[in-house]
Amino acid sequence: MPKIENNIADVSKRIDQSAADYGRDPNEILLLAVSKTRPVEDIRQAMGAGQAHFAENYLQEALDKIAQLEGENLCWHFIGPLQSNKTRNAAEHFSWVHSVDRLKIAQRLNDQRPESLGPLNICLQVNIDNEQSKSGFAADGLLPIALQIAKLPNLRLRGLMAIPRAEISFQKQQAAFHKLAQLREQINQSLDNSEKLDTLSMGMSGDLEAAISQGSTMVRVGTDIFGKREQK
Q: Give contact residues for ligand PLP (rule: CB under 6 A).
A: 34, 36, 57, 79, 163, 204-206, 220-224
Q: How far is the CB of 116 from ligand PLP (least distance, A)?
A: 28
Tell me whether residue 179 or residue 196 sits nearer to ligand PLP (CB atom).
179
Tell me whether residue 45 or residue 57 sits nearer to ligand PLP (CB atom).
57
Tell me whether residue 14 or residue 196 sits nearer to ligand PLP (CB atom).
14
Residues 217, 201: Cα–Cα separation, whole Å: 6
What count of residues does the chain have?
Answer: 232
Residues 43, 48: Cα–Cα separation, whole Å: 9
Tell me whether residue 190 or residue 223 sits nearer to ligand PLP (CB atom).
223
Q: How far is the CB of 34 from ligand PLP (least distance, A)?
A: 4
For residue 166, the SS3 value is coil
Residues 55, 78: Cα–Cα separation, whole Å: 6
Output the residue with the shortest Cβ distance to ligand PLP. 222
Q: How far is the CB of 114 from ligand PLP (least distance, A)?
A: 25
Residues 181, 184: Cα–Cα separation, whole Å: 5
Tell me whether residue 151 or residue 229 sits nearer to ligand PLP (CB atom).
229
Q: Counting beta carbons within 10 angstroms of the beta carbon of residue 128, is it exposed (0 to 12), middle (13 to 18) or buried (19 or more)?
A: buried
Q: How far is the CB of 219 from ligand PLP (least distance, A)?
A: 9
Tell me whether residue 146 or residue 207 sits nearer to ligand PLP (CB atom).
207
Q: How far is the CB of 96 from ligand PLP (least distance, A)?
A: 12
CB 152 within 8 A of CB 106: yes
Residues 207, 8: Cα–Cα separation, whole Å: 16
Residues 224, 205: Cα–Cα separation, whole Å: 6
Q: How far is the CB of 209 from ligand PLP (least distance, A)?
A: 13
Q: Counting beta carbons within 10 angstroms of the beta carbon of residue 168, is it exposed (0 to 12), middle (13 to 18) or buried (19 or more)?
A: exposed
Tell me whether residue 114 or residue 213 sits nearer to ligand PLP (CB atom).
213
Q: How far is the CB of 139 from ligand PLP (least distance, A)?
A: 18
Nearest-10 Cα torsion for 36, 108, 136, 210: -60
Residues 204, 132: Cα–Cα separation, whole Å: 21
